[in-house]
Structure 1
Amino acid sequence: MHTPALLRLRPAGAAADEEVAVEMPVALTINGISQAIMLATPADLEDFALGFGIAEGWFASRHELLDVEVSAHPEGLELAMTVTGACEQRLKQRRRTLAGRTGCGLCGIESLAQLTAVHPGPVTPPELASDALARAATALPAAQPLNARCGGLHAAAWCRPDGELVLAREDVGRHNALDKLCGALARRGERAQNGFVLMSSRASLELVHKAAMSGIGLLACTSAPSSLAIATAQHLGLQLWAFVRGDRATRYA
């Protein structure tokens, strides 16, 4: 998950090892066929495989993913997924190549028409307690152990409507962190209506799309939203909050 840097000099002059977050190529294959290559932090990879597949429309449900085998290669890691026959047939009809930078779920599409090839349905936001966002934001740093050691990692956290932080996943890519969280929620059988997602990042179109693909109706982010994120959230009925910091938060959709 991390590697030591060469040296860090403290103000007093003492040297110490520094930990650096790992970013490496992760290839996702389905029944032996390459589907995507992403750059990600090598943690919670089974969750990543399921969550990424849900966001991409590969899986109609978690039950279509039968197995994930993680193997190391000189160039990186491979997540070899075994899926049902019905799932494999759907994928053969909609082949797509993703050459990902750090976790961007839309950067590898081949044409503008593919932006609407896989689209989520309407979602229903939960009813939040008045202090839910502030409570979740206060709990978020403690749910980021990798970031505390290395820095440079984003977190996606699943929170109850009262603001209780239940589960979190980390990655160098914010989109990867959300994929991991959505995969973990699917594996647990968590109902999307039972909470919301808090991200330690800006709010982008990809995050809104991925959240909605998992049925999540409220996305909150600690930084700014983009115009496409706002427009997409409004179209889907997803509630979008940004600048969630301390007791401050701004609703954009």
Structure 2
Amino acid sequence: MQMNELPLPQTTGARAVPVTGVRSRRFFEGTDWVAEEIPVALEYNGVSHAVMLASPSDLEDFAFGFSLTEGIVDDISQIRDIDISGNAQGITVHMEIASSCFARLKDRRRSLAGRTGCGLCGTDSLAHAVRLPQPLGGDARFSALSVTRALAALRDKQLLLGITGATHAAAWCNAAGEIMLLREDVGRHNALDKLVGALRRGKFAAGEGFVVVTSRASYEMVHKTAVAGVTLLAAVSGVTGLAIDVARDAGVALLGFARGEDLSVYCHAERIHLDHAA
């Protein structure tokens, strides 16, 4: 059995590879698209700080978002310049940041080797392991129907997943549940960092919408959402206990198992109106 030739991907981050196997009890051979996973070095003022394994798309968004959620800068205006270069070993994102930010970074610099499944790799101090975001105020409230609407539209917006079946997504949705921004990556943390960077660079009113992620909600996912100024995070999978604790303190409504019309609210239920419950 010969597989049909695959169409060219409509997004970066995938490459074609030969494949053989068994499908419906029949042998096949052909070509498949797989997700790229490339070392991406983040360099500040000439000093390498982190190497993350990431999809090679939306890397400027990733660099801005990572810098914000890691507390390296407080505002994207403190990133003075950015340049991206690559070689056979991977990609380097060179950033020039404000001298005050770089001095702070040197004071707490750590060796961080990024992996797709771990957000604390390289942390060498318990004091640095859990960073509490500033609490979010306001009375933003969202409809469960809006979350359902966003979930229904999510799959068709994930172009890289459609090609490879191997990536996560983070999406920012307006109050009506329309997906306004979406970023994909092999790593769930990276996808959310890319989204945070895109929100800040686009000067969106982040607090007027909510975030949906195609993964579990760990502490870091809540932290990044709070840094973005978003008060509701809905995860397709489950949540962790630490994520609930941090979300409660940060003022973020945390939803898990958000699939179809189902969802579980773990804290700040006052931020969501369960309007399609019987």
**2:136 aligns to what?**
123
**1:186 aligns to what?**
200
For residues 157-205 of structure 1, the C-alpha deviation after alignment (integer angstroms, 9 at most, x for no partner) is 0001121111100001000000000000010011221111000111111
Matched residue type, 1:157: A
Matched residue type, 1:32: G
Q: Contact (CA 8 Å) 2:18, 2:29: kept in 1 or not?
A: no
Q: Contact (CA 8 Å) 1:104, 1:206: kept in 2 or not?
A: no
Matched residue type, 1:145: L
Q: Contact (CA 8 Å) 1:126, 1:196: kept in 2 or not?
A: no
Percent of residue pairs identical: 45
Out of 191, 198, 206, the residue aligned to residue 212 of structure 2 is 198
Q: Structure 1: how far apart are the matches of 2:185 and 2:252?
A: 24
Q: Structure 1: how far apart are the matches of 2:117 and 2:48?
A: 17
Q: How does 1:1-253 map to 2 (within 5 A)?
A: 1-9=13-21, 10-11=23-24, 15-102=29-116, 104-116=118-130, 118-124=131-137, 126-253=140-267
**TM-score, normalised to structure 2's length?**
0.86
Q: Number of residue pairs matched?
A: 252
CA shift, 1:8, in A, is 4.1
Q: Structure 1: how far apart are the matches of 2:99 and 2:192?
A: 27
Q: Contact (CA 8 Å) 1:158, 1:165: kept in 2 or not?
A: yes
For structure 1, which segment, 181-190 or 209-218, has the greater mean C-alpha deviation from structure 2 after superposition? 209-218
Name the Cα RMSD after superposition: 1.6
Which protein has the larger Cα radius of gyration, Structure 1 or Structure 2?
Answer: 2
**TM-score, normalised to structure 1's length?**
0.94
SS at match of 1:181: helix
Q: Structure 2: how far apart are the matches of 1:103 and 1:214?
A: 21
For structure 1, which segment, 207-216 or 7-16, has the greater mean C-alpha deviation from structure 2 after superposition? 7-16
C-alpha distance 70-156 of structure 1, shift in aligned 2 (>3 A):
same
Q: Contact (CA 8 Å) 1:198, 1:219: kept in 2 or not?
A: yes
SS at match of 2:121: coil
CA shift, 1:37, in A, is 0.8
Structure 1: gaps spanning 5 or more residues: none
Q: Contact (CA 8 Å) 1:40, 1:103: kept in 2 or not?
A: no
CA shift, 1:109, in A, is 0.6
Q: Structure 2: how far apart are the matches of 1:242 and 1:234?
A: 14
